[in-house]
Structure 1
Amino acid sequence: MACLRPWYSGKDWVSGGQWKEYMDILKSWVEAFTSAGIRLVFFFDGVVEEQKRPTWIKRRHRVNGDICKIFAHIKAYGEQPRGEMCVLPSGLATFTRFALKSLGQEVFCSVREADYEIASYAREHNCMGILGQDTDYIIFDSAPYLSSAKLRINSLTTVLYDRQRLCHTLGLAVFHLPLLACLLGNDVVSEEQMQPIRKDALAKYSKLNSTSYPGSQQQDIILAVSQFVRSCSESPDVLVTPSLKLSPVDKELLEKGVQSYLLSDQTKHLSSETTDHPVAVYQKYVSPTILQACREKHVAAEGFMVYSVVSEGMVECSNSLEDEEDTELLPQALVYKPCRQRMYGVLLLHTFSDVDINPPPIKEWFVYPGNPLKEPEMVPPTPLNMQCDHPGLDTLWFGEEEEISSLRRACFLAILDCQDFAELYGIIEEHLFITLCLVTYITLQVQTLSQEDVHAYLSQAVCLAHKSPQDIQQIKLPFLCSRAVQLGCLYVRGLSYLLGANCASGCPLTSEALMPWNSFDGRLFQSKYLSAHSRVEDLVLLDNDASCLSVFHTLRSKVKEVCLKKGRELQSKPRRCTPQFKTGEEPRHWGHTGGEGLGRGIHHSTEGWRGRREARRRYHLYENRGRQNRGHYPSTSQQHPDFYSQQYHNRGAFANRRDSRGRFSHRGRYHLAPRWSQPPAS
């Protein structure tokens, strides 16, 4: 997981991901190691252990704050934030597993804490090193720890953190390191809980070491705690020495923390064994054969969601790029909730002997605006709307009869409520079939989705097959639209749920067809969104490629047909998209260049300095507002003001200036187009 950020070096991360370019980067990265004779084994986090749930929640809230700032920046400047303000594309970890497997790599998904499984594997197989970015790897008595953050891929050089040298410096043995890590604070034992012990240790250390240097407080704490550990822990057979004056609760927690660092062959002499997840009540709703198959698929990184549902009845989803001030677009967790419920129904609501037919609801830890994450949401499974009865999961997964194949597809389509598309399977390409199903599902769930939004989704999927990563890099965007950012994220999240639906249905479709590099690119989608809302002709929207027209028209007519059948009339609602001008530029008309231009003229307004000052005040108030002061996600019935309507321009204090190389450095402010203005007439 520590490699994801250096891997994803695509310029555009905010629009949903540049997936074709990402695949090229992964290929080059893998080839650099294999050409040097190094075999790679990849591990991905497969679970969030409950003892680390508070840490997970704390991190999710922190990222939510970053996402708020990202959207504020996009609205104010019409561009992607630079520097450290970066959130990786949604689903990157999920799809990277499949990408690496497609490159012939060995990939595992953990069934417990991934750090533990990595350290165990490296110790058992005598690996040359663990490439990652987590100090836990120096605490485990395992292979050498190498920094992924400091890796130079061209020369294959990095930094080695020497466990033995660390112990020598601190005057400790290797078996002391787990207790040291827990007393200093980690994901299991918080810093606050061990603060009294550290305070006492520092007091004793200070009496013997009177010399102190500026900025050395953290170093003194580490040395003091090391001295304390050395004095009270003399045997590797005792997890927590009785001399530690702790309450029973703190002692138990500290023992858990220390034991989390002891690998499987190191715990044999202890009375308390480390085990995988306990047997959960949900496991009685599936056969042992299904449970074993789910686990095998999960570990081999070939499944998604199903193992956590049938084994624990719990799933989680991390942050997505969602604008909590956009009242038109629901969070992805709510958009795909019906889909997930039907998927849970496929897995748990079927005939099985001697069990209650109504399993408990699934616990969902999903991050979205308005969810405080104080407790999981309880989501009950719902049955599929199918003409035939549920055949049972064993038959659906392992049946070899010819009719089972069509039954699997029917089950998959029923999860998406897209049974009407069954006749199209095999007629259009599989990845376009997936696009058709997903766009139709989104359209039915999101009532504010317009005809132009659908055109943007479909056109970019059709055009993507004809574009290389280099072609996509050459796309010039006059500005970024915050609404298109959220729509792009919504699509990619949908692909991940389709992975789960496909797995639950017995895999009627290939995993490759569900991969985003076959049907989505964020930069291309932004381009098509701007063009579609400029109401360009279909041929222009398709980059003047007449060979794409027939497929595009087929997909569009099928979406409209099914939506009308279900009472959803798709309306045209073009939005006035206007780019953000930098100071000193004159307004101009953006022409239709390759289907990527804009068709609206830009006009300055005369709100003057009062309006500009109010815009800046609101932007900074929004950016600095604490997450704890935010309310729940507003009702979708509220009217959403169009960000790009009735804009005015903020004339900056400084003009652009060329640097020594002749490039423009933007010393001035961008013109602001406030979202709190009134929407245009439909």
Structure 2
Amino acid sequence: MGVKGLQGFVARVCPDACRTVDLKEMAEKHRVDHPDVPPVIVVDAMSCVRYWYTPESWVCGGQWREYLANLEDFIKAFMAAGIQLVFYFDGVVEAKKRDQWVKRRLENNKEIARIFRFIKTHRRQPGTEMFFIPSALPTFTRFALKSLGQKTVCTLQEADFEVAAYGLQHNCIGILGQDSDYLIYNTCPYFSIEKLHLDRLVTVMYSREDLCSALGLSLTHLPLFACLLGNDVVPERLLEGFWHKCLVTSPHKNSSYNRRTSILLAVASYISKVPCSYSSLKHLEEMLPLGSDKTLLHRGVESYLLPGQQSPWIRLSVTNCQSFSLQQQTAVCQDMEIFQVAKEQHIRSENYSIFNILSKGEVVCSNSLEDECDTEIPGQALIYRPARQHIYSVLLESGKGGACPLVKEWVVYFGNPLQQAELIEPVQPSVPGGTPNLKTLWFAKGSEVEKQRYSTFLACFHLQDGMEELQALEAPVAAFCCLLSYLMMQVSSLSLEDLNAFVALVLCLKGKSAAQLAGLQLAEVDSRAVQLGAVFVRGLTTLLMANSACGFPFRMDDLMPWEVFDGKLFQEKYQQSHRGCSLEELLEGNESLYTPFQNLKSFICKVCMAKKRAIQSRPRGNGFITGTQQREFIPSFQQTHRSYFVPPYHKQMRGSLWRNPQAQGREHGLGHPDQRRRFHPPPW
């Protein structure tokens, strides 16, 4: 999060601290000074995703092939200058930041509601002032960069600390990001991603030394300065009285300054007169209304000390590596070999969520573009909860004797106030022959265990009976069918038209370039298709979690959105399908896709029928959802210790279409008489 207002303050009040720099020239100087070490920039990737995501369309679920091409161009620009990049991603939400995380998630819910109101009113994407990153963008960015051959690190703690430590320890030419905390850490230079001109590799470098000169401070003062302005350790609400005292005595009384600028100058003036000593820090702690915790300032200053650094504000010499203790973190996992492998895979960005489940018994999922007024589609967090419960059981080996721990879920869905974690019980999947243990799934070799990995993965999505058909498909298509089958079973409101749109999407996407997809223009945007796109993409992260837990029956690259999804193309297929377009139009006149289309659709329908879920035709035409009905909130999801989401396929459909024999003939066609005559699905 950094220090509120500091970045803008530097740009407005301390312009000398903002230097335009040529990264190619800096890299060349580094090569001269250090001929045996290549120039490296460490990238705070989480603060860069907005810079990287430049596709025009963002509301439809993500333009993933365009985004992948952008990342490739970004890397090539630095490679051409001989600069190596190391990308860091947040791997945890630390407890000290939970309140801020919750606050931001609830604010995001309001922003998302505004976006959907705009779409329903105008039937188009809002302007960039309402931009919201596509669901799971940071997650898939990690895997994208790794697939492009980049060193990608997922952190065990707050990313800014690890980024600053890496930059210092490896003599990097700088840190690329957008977080004012990098002005506070005593580390390598800090470059702005926001100001980066990629074509010339020119950006702005923020100088700590020039900032200190403008404020009358030393580098040693900066950690205390940050704490007394409010940061992740010291809440701003505790500092109002102190700020008032500083403002009263401040020599900077310029009426043209806003209040935040005045506070920054006043606090700097105050601490410039404070001796840098432990006793001074203790005096400040006694003076401030820090409640019962009088160590906040100490901990705040300490949080900025990198490995090997010391501070006069702290009595004892401190080497603050914020070390990660295995003993402190092994909350659920007793097997240290399993734990160590999970940790190493986590750091190397090779698995998804597994380490946090094994170490802290915790899962975190942020906001998605979901419409709180569409009462037909549950929140994605609830849709995928049954699958997650099976994954938890595989990881925590429930049913093997002894009590199985509950998993804490911090997941965003409408009606969840996020006041506390929901405690979710693992549920054993129905794996033929029983669920193998983790050591078998992760370490054993041979064709039999490969079959076990695959069948365990499928069982997490209630698809263990479809193994033979799925294994005959290309891996990305098989994964797509797993996800779509699960979705059709879980969400009873999904129709035959929705199914047709998804199947046409995956078939037509193959072979399309990023440029072709970028050129696709939509006449309008449908809000329900926006939500379905977000739900589908979040489902891909559930596939990643299951794949990681089951010992990787799929390559992670086969589960990436650029293999099976494009937001604009899905919007097009969704609208075509619900308008009743011909199969020829839906599949873009490509006759070679007709048979694969019917085969994939037939498989999914057969799976659903086996679970007593008949997929009905419910064309919506151009009827966009415009209602304002609020989604009914079910208190049990947040008020009980154990939460369950009963899959809809447990409730047999009893609508008029189910009883009407004429309507039954439409269940597996496209809903148009000519199409039914021309394209008959194979019977089963």
Match of 2:409 in 1: 364
Note if 1:289 corresponds to 2:340.
no
Identity %: 42
Letter of the aligned partner of 1:183 in structure 2? L
For residue 300 of structure 1, the aligned residue among 318, 329, 348 is 348
Letter of the aligned partner of 2:487 in structure 1? I
In structure 1, what is the Cα distance between the partners aligned to 2:345 and 2:120?
42
For residue 225 of structure 1, the aligned residue among 267, 286, 292 is 267
In structure 2, what is the Cα distance between the partners aligned to 1:432 and 1:309?
28
Q: CA deviation at 1:229?
A: 1.9
Q: CA deviation at 1:266?
A: 1.9
Structure 1, residues 367-389: CA drift from partner, whole Å, max 9, x if none?
11111111111111111212213
Letter of the aligned partner of 1:213 in structure 2? S
Letter of the aligned partner of 2:633 in structure 1? H
Structure 1, residues 397-434: CA drift from partner, whole Å, max 9, x if none?
00013311000001100111111221024421111101
Q: CA deviation at 1:358?
A: 2.0
Are 1:150 and 1:159, in contact at CA under 8 Å, matched by a contact in 2? yes
Match of 2:16 in 1: none
Q: CA deviation at 1:192?
A: 1.1
Letter of the aligned partner of 1:310 in structure 2? L
Q: CA deviation at 1:394?
A: 1.1
Instruction: Give RMSD over aligned pairs.
Output: 2.4
Match of 1:30 in 2: 75
Letter of the aligned partner of 1:307 in structure 2? F
Match of 1:55 in 2: 100
Are 1:17 and 1:521, in contact at CA under 8 Å, matched by a contact in 2? yes
Classify the secondary structure of the residue corresponding to 1:265: coil
Structure 1 residues 248 and 266, CA gap change in structure 2 (3 angstroms): farther
Note if 1:252 corresponds to 2:295.
yes
Note if 1:378 corresponds to 2:416.
no
Q: CA deviation at 1:262?
A: 1.1
Note if 1:79 corresponds to 2:107.
no
Letter of the aligned partner of 2:67 in structure 1? Y
Structure 1 residues 579 and 447, CA gap change in structure 2 (3 angstroms): closer
Note if 1:13 corresponds to 2:47.
no
Classify the secondary structure of the residue corresponding to 1:166: helix
Structure 1, residues 419-464: CA drift from partner, whole Å, max 9, x if none?
1221024421111101111000000100100011011111100110
Q: CA deviation at 1:280?
A: 5.1
Are 2:307 and 2:320, in contact at CA under 8 Å, matched by a contact in 1? no
Letter of the aligned partner of 1:264 in structure 2? P
Note if 1:212 corresponds to 2:260.
no
Note if 1:132 corresponds to 2:173.
no
Structure 1, residues 494-527: CA drift from partner, whole Å, max 9, x if none?
0011000000000011111100001000000000
Letter of the aligned partner of 2:393 in structure 1? G
Are 2:227 and 2:297, in contact at CA under 8 Å, matched by a contact in 1? yes
Match of 1:240 in 2: 281
Q: CA deviation at 1:186?
A: 1.4
Are 1:492 and 1:516, in contact at CA under 8 Å, matched by a contact in 2? yes
In structure 1, what is the Cα distance between the partners aligned to 2:319 and 2:87?
32
Q: Where in structure 2 are there 5+ consecutive unaligned residues?
A: 1-45, 311-315, 637-644, 649-684
Match of 1:520 in 2: 565
Q: How does 1:132-151 map to 2 (within 5 A)?
A: 132-151=177-196
Match of 2:246 in 1: 201
Note if 1:349 corresponds to 2:397.
yes
In structure 1, what is the Cα distance between the partners aligned to 2:422 and 2:280?
37
Structure 1 residues 428 and 240, CA gap change in structure 2 (3 angstroms): same
Are 2:305 and 2:320, in contact at CA under 8 Å, matched by a contact in 1? no
Are 2:409 and 2:421, in contact at CA under 8 Å, matched by a contact in 1? yes
Letter of the aligned partner of 1:231 in structure 2? K
Are 1:478 and 1:579, in contact at CA under 8 Å, matched by a contact in 2? no
Are 2:393 and 2:428, in contact at CA under 8 Å, matched by a contact in 1? yes
In structure 2, what is the Cα distance between the partners aligned to 1:62 and 1:306?
28
TM-score by length of 2: 0.82
Are 1:349 and 1:358, in contact at CA under 8 Å, matched by a contact in 2? no
In structure 2, what is the Cα distance between the partners aligned to 1:92 and 1:408?
27
Structure 1 residues 351 and 328, CA gap change in structure 2 (3 angstroms): closer
Q: CA deviation at 1:228?
A: 2.2
How many residue pairs align between the two structures?
Answer: 586
Are 1:328 and 1:448, in contact at CA under 8 Å, matched by a contact in 2? yes
Letter of the aligned partner of 1:311 in structure 2? S
Classify the secondary structure of the residue corresponding to 2:324: coil
Q: CA deviation at 1:201?
A: 2.0
For residue 102 of structure 1, the aligned residue among 147, 161, 171 is 147
TM-score by length of 1: 0.82
Are 1:322 and 1:486, in contact at CA under 8 Å, matched by a contact in 2? yes
Structure 1, residues 96-117: CA drift from partner, whole Å, max 9, x if none?
1111111111100111000000
Q: How does 1:303-318 map to 2 (within 5 A)?
A: 303-318=351-366
Are 1:563 and 1:569, in contact at CA under 8 Å, matched by a contact in 2? yes
For residue 263 of structure 1, the aligned residue among 285, 306, 315 is 306
Task: Identify which range, 162-171 or 123-132, moves more after superposition.
Answer: 162-171
Q: CA deviation at 1:573?
A: 0.6
Are 2:253 and 2:262, in contact at CA under 8 Å, matched by a contact in 1? no
